[in-house]
Amino acid sequence: YAVSGNLQAVLDEYVHMLKDWRGFLSAGGTGIVTDLADTAFSALSLRTVSYFTDIPRAADGGITVDRQSMRGRFAIRFGDQAIEGEQRQQRAQQASHAFNSPFWPFVMTTTSIGQEGLDFHLYSHSVVHWNLPGNPVDLEQREGRVHRYKGHAIRKNVAATCAEAAFAATGDPWEAMFRHAVQTVREADEVEPYWVYSPSGAVARIERYVPMLPFSREVSKLERLLRDVATYRLSFGQPRQEELIRYLAGRASEDDLAVVAQRLRVDLSPADVD
């Protein structure tokens, strides 16, 4: 299993990402090793859960409810209302650690509680919107959970175009690949290739899935939301943002908004001191 699945490469990537995710800038120290080991142990020790579903059945002029249980070995929900207090917080933290690992669960379901302030980007680059939010801010918050520093899509593209650097490395192969990726971008900074990286050989991107029926209201709502997202990005730091969004949305096309955004954007990339 370890040989055919290349478990060593899996663990190389996992430890590299854990070091960044846990905020360790250096690679040495006993405390760092202990913290990384504890986080990995928390992810691997997540127990499977049982879900119950009620199936109504009509028979003999009445309705009976047949309750069936299912073991959750592939997906997990974030937050459990049936658990209270400190135990609920511990379960949520363990679920986050497990989802941000190359091991199960591979699907995380959550309500709006999971759309702000949480990281789900280490091993996920797809978001399925069960229902559409009411405003572009919430849409950005949802998809921002997987569109983050050294996200899964970023690393897949780096691996697809810079793999040779890993074979030549004597230390962390992912450090070597990102150093090579920095040399391939036109203007290397703290944004590219760590937040955005789409070379000619790119194989991955942030994926958005919205299950909806053709000609339903969700179709036009999604079009409006995507249009408003572009306008919303223009309103950062402005007073009365909602009024500005409504004003621009009714008076400018997407192409016009793109031109305005290019002219008015504030570049927060670190200055080149060389």
Q: Other C-beta atoms within 10 Å of 47: how many?
A: 8
Tracing tokens 């309705």 back to the chain, one arrives at 63
Q: What is the model's pLDDT at position 136? A: 83
Query: Is the link from the previous residue into 193 a cis peptide, with omega within 30 of 0?
Result: yes
| H helical segments located in the chain | 7-21, 30-44, 85-99, 136-143, 152-168, 173-184, 217-234, 241-249, 254-264
Q: What is the model's pLDDT at position 173? A: 94
Q: What is the model's pLDDT at position 73? A: 77
Which tokens hold the place of 210?
């919205």
**What confidence tier does 236 reach under pLDDT thresholds 50, 70, 90?**
low
What is the mean pLDDT of the segment spanning 246-262?
A: 69
Backbone angles phi, psi at 209, to 5 degrees: -120, 130
DSSP state of 112: G
Spacing of C-alpha 130 from chain mean position: 16
Residue 1 has pLDDT above 70, yes or no: no
Q: How far apart are CA 86 and CA 102, in angstroms?
A: 26
N-term to C-term CA, the chain: 48
Which tokens hold the place of 25?
């800038």
Q: Dihedral sign, CA of 155, 157, 159, 163? A: negative
Helix (H, G, I), strand (E, B), or coil: what is residue 161? helix
Residue 115 has pLDDT above 80, yes or no: no
Q: Other C-beta atoms within 10 Å of 231: how many?
A: 22
User: pLDDT above 70 covers what percent of the chain?
Assistant: 78
Q: What is the model's pLDDT at position 76? A: 85
Ranges 64-73, 77-86, 223-232, most confident:
64-73
Residue 123 has pLDDT above 90, yes or no: yes
